[in-house]
Amino acid sequence: MLKKRKKLGRGVAVIGAGMSKFGMFRDKDSKDLFAEAFNETIASVDKGVDPNEIEALYLGNFSNDFFVRQAHWGAMISDLIGLAPKPATRTEGACASSALAFREGVFAIASGFYDMVLVGGVEEMSKSSSTEVAEGLALATVPYEGKVGFTFPGVFGVIATAYFAKYGASHRDLMNITIKSHKNAPFNPKSQIPFTVLELMHAKIESLKKKGRPVPEWKNEIDFLSDPGANPSIAWPMHLYDCCPISDGASCMLLVAEDLAKNFTDKPLSVAGIGQGSGRGFHAAPSLTSFEATKNAAEEAYNMSGFKPEDIQFSEVHDCFSIAEIIHTEDLGFFKPGEGFKVAEEGLTALNGPMPINTSGGLKSKGHPVGATGTSQLFEVWKQLRNEAGERQVKKNNLRIGAAHNLGGTGGTCTFTILERK
Amino acid sequence: METENISDISYEKYLNEDKLMGSRCKKCGELYAPPRPICIKCYGTDMELVEMKGDGKLAAFTCISVGPPFMVEEGFDRKNPYCVGVVELEEGTRVDARIEGVDTGKPETIKVGMPVSVHFLHREKNNTQITYLAFKPK
Ligand SMILES: [Zn+2]
């Protein structure tokens, strides 16, 4: 009966990508941010492209309805970029919204219906108060969780205590994730917090001195992150430096049928594997220390591409909270269950390590405008595979396979996308 | 007797009566709490509500310092965090709940695996009674 091929009807390639700077912007709205990402995307097409050739838009946005009281962003952005009256579709999968847009765009081309589509995402969060943002994000938790007072950091706090109890990890292991990701941050010009933890520590010392306050004697980053004055608990064991910031931003990519790609660039990336999964929340999840949606996404993407975890040369991994990176690198097969918490300290996931994770600095330092995150992660893969990542370039011989993992909500929607330079 | 609707609405209605309910599939016997209207094991649709004993162990938890507005209204903040967690019931299913009777100022004293029993927290909001599912250490 069903064949369950799980292959694309025809190949799809990325020929352009761009993203706005991520940050908290008083004087920029969603349209301004998307325009920044769109202009960079068009300019990134090596042999040029006429934007009139774009046939459709798939746009990820989680909750501008709540954050800035304006919904219906597909049509809004289609007007901005001169696409109307051609179709625009909004996708929503919480923090994985634009990875879903990417996937729908791939399917639209693979089906043979379109030759060229724009995919991307946008989110404008910083104009809401932090309580409002917490409330808005909590809309993406499972109702049984939200109703008893779980917040987003709270959900990941729960996952962390389950992981700690099972594998003997501690908050110190989470600090190593934060320190590692922030080491890449100064090299990313789009980063919201382009500083290492050490630099942030020195900045804090300077500001305390200026205010005439007593300065604690922090010997190193771990010392600094262990001080509840500098790194207060948000949802124990999640502390401030375990959580990504509140951000505004946009990102997008231009996709074409693979057989047309050479008309636009000699360095296209092909979509080798694309997977997605759903998760159920604590009441029904098979495990509290693993994301079933990530596992399903990985299985789909690995099967489609024929690649194995060891073939992936670097990956962006959704690190909305430090514990999330640890567990996802296990679920994606990069490390064994119960091993993921040790690898950052050993340097395995550093920029110059054998398996670089979050060369962009991760959501923790790059920023996490939720609906824009998925395609911004793929933007990093695009930069790396085209050898355009500057000081944060992964220096491996024959760099050709990179991936991005995106998580929505508390694990309700996850994607895993593998791009290949042929 | 009229068949009762199995839904999140009935789940909450029973919480107001100090009852933690689940549902059992009459065809294959699978038990769910919170209750499900569809058996996702055999796709049987003949489900019955069953009351849970209310005993279990703490599977995981967190102590939240920055809560949503409805928890802030109850007086929780950085100086007074609240605990929520996941409880694995004796019957084998998991529920999300508030955890009472623990020292949220010293979260390292709260232990995963500790036995807990159900406790219903009644609150009034806009003249409506709401009940939070909660557990306390035994
Ligand atoms: Zn059944």
In this prediction, residue A142 carries a pLDDT of 87
The separation between the first and the last C-alpha atoms of chain A, rounded to the nearest angstrom, is 35
Chain A interface mutation, best of B89, B96, B106, highest count of A Cβ atoms under 10 Å: B96
**Distance set, CA A7 to CA A139, A258, A311, A312, B29 (Å):** 34, 14, 19, 19, 38
Confidence of residue B102 (pLDDT cuts 50, 70, 90): very high
Determine contact, residues A15/A45, Cβ cutoff 8 Å.
Answer: yes
Mean pLDDT value across residues B103-117 = 97
Does any CB of chain A come closer than 8 Å to the CB of residue B59? yes
Average pLDDT over residues B96-100: 98
Does the beta-carbon distance from A153 to B84 stay under 8 Å? no
Residue A277, classed as helix, strand or coil, is: strand
pLDDT of residue A386: 98
Neighbours of ion ligand 1 (CB under 5 A): B 25, 27-28, 30, 39, 41-42, 44
Q: How far is Cα B25 from Cα B44, in angstroms, rounded to an integer? A: 7
Per-residue pLDDT tens digits for B1-37: 456 788 899 999 999 999 999 999 999 999 999 999 9
Quick check: A150 and B84 CB within 8 A?
Answer: yes
Average pLDDT of the residues in B29-57: 95
The pLDDT value recorded for residue B3 is 62
Tell me what the pLDDT averaged over chain B comes to.
94
Q: What does the pLDDT read at residue B1? A: 43
**Integer Cα distance of A294 and B38 in angstroms:** 25
% residues pLDDT > 90 (chain A): 93
Name the residue ranges covered by the structural domains of chain A: 12-129+245-420
Residues of chain A with pLDDT > 70: what percent? 100
What average pLDDT does the segment A391-409 reach? 97
pLDDT digits (tens, 9 = 90+) for A115-165: 999 999 999 999 988 878 888 888 888 889 999 999 999 999 999 999 999
pLDDT at B2: 52
Instruction: Name the residue facing B78 among A131, A164, A232 (closest C-beta).
Output: A232
Q: In what order do the strands lie in the sheet with B47-51?
A: B31-32, B21-25, B47-51
Whether B92 has its CB under 8 Å from any CB of chain A: the answer is no
Q: Is B105 in the A-facing interface, judged by CB distances under 8 Å?
A: no
Helix locations, A336-369, DSSP H: 362-366
Kindly provide the ipTM of the predicted complex, given to two decimals: 0.96
End-to-end CA gap in chain B? 37
Superfamily of domain A12-129+245-420: Thiolase/Chalcone synthase (3.40.47.10)
Which residue has tokens 């694995």? B88
Alpha carbon of A235 to those of A154, A159, A168, A300, A365: distances in Å?
A: 5, 11, 19, 33, 19
- Say yes or no: B8 contacts chain A, CB-CB below 8 A: yes
Determine the distance separating the centroid of ligand 1 and the alpha carbon of B93, expressed in angstroms.
Answer: 15
Contact B86, B134 (CB under 8 A): no
A182, A365 in Cβ contact below 8 A? yes
- Indicate if the pLDDT at residue A315 is higher than 70: yes
Residues in chain B with CB shorter than 8 Å from the CB of A138 are 68
Say how far apart CA A310 and CA A279 lie, in whole Å.
Answer: 25
Average pLDDT score over chain A: 96
Mutation to test the B interface, candidates A148, A239, A278, most B Cβ within 10 Å: A148
If phi over 0 gives left and psi between -120 and 50 gives alpha, with beta otherwise, what is residue A159? Answer: alpha
Mean pLDDT across A171-183: 98
Chain A nearest CA to B42, separation (Å): 16
CA A72 to each of CA A27, A60, A65, A78, A409: distance values in angstroms, whole numbers, following the listed order: 22, 11, 8, 11, 20
- For residue A414, the distance in angstroms to the closest alpha carbon of chain B comes to 21
B45: CA distance to ligand 1 center in Å?
8
> Using an 8 Å Cβ cutoff, are A246 and A67 in contact?
no
pLDDT for A170 beyond 60: yes
Task: Let me know if domain B55-137 sits in CATH 1.10.150.
Answer: no
Q: Which amino acid is at A287?
A: S
A235 and B62 in contact by Cβ < 8 A? yes
Q: Does any CB of chain B come closer than 8 Å to the CB of residue A154?
A: yes
Which residues of A are catalytic, by number? Answer: 95, 368
Global pTM reads 0.97
* Amino acid at the residue B65: S
Any A CB within 8 A of B96 CB: yes
Tokens of B106: 């010293």
Instruction: Tell me the per-residue pLDDT of A68-115, one tens digit each, with 9 for 90 and over.
Output: 999 999 999 999 999 999 999 999 999 999 999 999 999 999 999 999
Q: Is residue A307 predicted with pLDDT exceeding 90?
A: yes
- What mean pLDDT do residues B91-99 have? 97
- Pairing outcome for strands A269-278 and A413-420: antiparallel
User: How confident is the model over A343-374, as pLDDT tens digits?
Assistant: 999 999 999 999 999 999 999 999 999 999 99
Instruction: Name the one residue in this structure whose structure tokens are 């990985």.
Output: A298
Contact criterion met (CB below 8 Å) for B15 and B46: no
Tell me the domain boundaries of chain B.
6-51, 55-137
